[in-house]
Each structure stands twice: as structure tokens, then as C-alpha cells.
Amino acid sequence: MRTYSLKCDCHTHTLYSRHAFSTIAENVRAAKEQGLELLASTDHFSDMLFPDWRDLRNYQYFSGYSMWPRVWDGVKLLHGAEVDITGLNGSLFGEDVPLTTTTVGQPMPREWNLFSHTTRYCDFLIASVHGTTFATGCTKEQVTQMYCNVLMRPRVLMIGHPGRSGLAFDIDAVVRFAGEHHRLIELNEHSSDRFYGEDGVCRKIAEACMHYGTQVAVDTDAHICAKIGKFSRVETMLGEIDFPEELIATRNRVAFEKALKDAQLSAE
């Protein structure tokens, strides 16, 4: 059976996400210990974090990304966000919140909304469905269109864990669309075994990626440093279907940086 040696983990969380437990320093150390070349830290940008979520002061963490070392302990460090998809039209969390004051209460010098301000220093975004209330009663076609719309949003590199979102969509259509537009589909270690078994939706997604030549991101979605860089569940499934390593954008740093560049060029 084919085996893999993946050198990037591009969906991870820190303490900032509230239901995660490690600092960025602990995550970087874990990435180094696992022999990773690249770590991306992608905390939640979502209303699951703060009850008073419209206050910009809750999101200063993302604005401080420019302080982070680009290479830390020999590990290339990217910063992003896992942004909630909030509407069937492909809208993203915070876009509907205009900002009028800065974090120190002065008038905002230019037009920002919570989304544009918070994500301005992100290298890329993962767009995920968490709460599904907005999609109550929707059709499979609407969800398919939603994912295609989301993939075309600036700086959205990938759909996060589409297999476990709970919303049915046309896998072939979304996977083909992602490949045509140089975007990635995530295979997420944090999704349970049933998604990766014989009839599991994540396995079906992987098979479609293989069929259409669409690149995937294999990520842990680690919420604690002990999980960083450990992809055994996804790797086992990929081995079983003989998935080619060259379609895994997270196989090494050079491949992931190229995938990111290709997505940016395609968005221009």
C-alpha cells in the first residue's frame, strides 16, 4: 500500500480559538518535532468565539500577525483564519459588520468591515461550514453553488472539512470547480473514521479529487499541540485508494507555496 510523508500542516488552532489548548509556540515546537517544514495557524473567525462578537477588540489577535516570525525554529510559519461560511450566496463571517471605531475608540480612518479588517494580514483563508442554521431547508444544488461561490472569494484557498459539514452537495461539481480554479479541497484528520470508511463521504471526495486531478490539503485541524503533524486516518484512506502524492498540496513546503501562489494568480 502506498504511504506518505507529509511535511505541512495548514489547518491548526491555538488557545485563541477558545476550545483549543496550545499556544503558537507550543504548536511550532510540535511541528518541528514532527519534522514539518511548514505550519499554518488558522484560528476560528466565527461567532462561536465571542458572545459580543461585533466588537473589533475581540479580534486584535489576527491584526497582530505581522509580529510573528516568518520562520520559527526552522519551521516556515504561515498565518490564516478558518472563516465561517454564513450564507448560501457564499458570504463569510463579519462581512456584514461595518467598523466605525478603532480598538482605542477613535473613528476608523477608512472603510472596513469586520471581515476585511480582521483578515487583512492572513496569508490565506479556510472557509468552513460550522453552524448550518442558515442553510435550513436548502437544496443540494444551492449548497453546491455556495461552495463554488466561496472558492472564488479573495484569499479563500480551500474549503475546510466539506465532508463533515452536514450539508449535502454535488461532490463532482465542487471538486471539478476547485481544480479548474486552482483551489484546494481539504481532507481533515479531525473528522471521525466513519467519514473515511468504505462509504464515507471524505473517501468519495478524495476519489473525486483523484478523478479530476484536483489538489487536496491534508490537515490535522489540531486543537492541541499533541495532534500537530499526525495524519494517520487520512493517510490510511489515501493509501487504500492509491491516491497520488503529487495531488497533495501539503506534501512539502515548496508544493504548498506553489499551490498558494497559483490560487492567488488565478484570483487576479
> Which stretches of the chain bind Zn ion, using CB under 5 A?
128
Minimum Å distance from CB 106 to Zn ion? 33
Rounded to whole angstroms, how far apart are CA atoms 154 and 159? 13
If the CB atoms of residues 26 and 262 are measured against Zn ion, the closer one turns out to be: 26
If the CB atoms of residues 45 and 243 are measured against Zn ion, the closer one turns out to be: 45
Minimum Å distance from CB 217 to Zn ion? 13
If the CB atoms of residues 41 and 128 are measured against Zn ion, the closer one turns out to be: 128
SS3 state at 169? coil
Minimum Å distance from CB 185 to Zn ion? 14
Rounded to whole angstroms, how far apart are CA atoms 51 and 48? 8
Comparing every residue's Cβ against Zn ion, the nearest one is 128
Rounded to whole angstroms, how far apart are CA atoms 243 and 224? 28
Rounded to whole angstroms, how far apart are CA atoms 106 and 86? 29
Place of cell 507550543: 26
Minimum Å distance from CB 82 to Zn ion? 5
If the CB atoms of residues 144 and 191 are measured against Zn ion, the closer one turns out to be: 191
If the CB atoms of residues 37 and 82 are measured against Zn ion, the closer one turns out to be: 82
Number of alpha carbons in the 13 Å side-chain half-sphere of residue 125: 24
Per-residue DSSP letter, 85: B
Minimum Å distance from CB 164 to Zn ion? 8
Q: How many Cβ atoms are within 10 Å of 122's Cβ, its own excluded?
A: 20
If the CB atoms of residues 83 and 255 are measured against Zn ion, the closer one turns out to be: 83
Rounded to whole angstroms, how far apart are CA atoms 225 and 221? 10
Minimum Å distance from CB 14 to Zn ion? 11
Q: How many Cβ atoms are within 10 Å of 153's Cβ, its own excluded?
A: 18
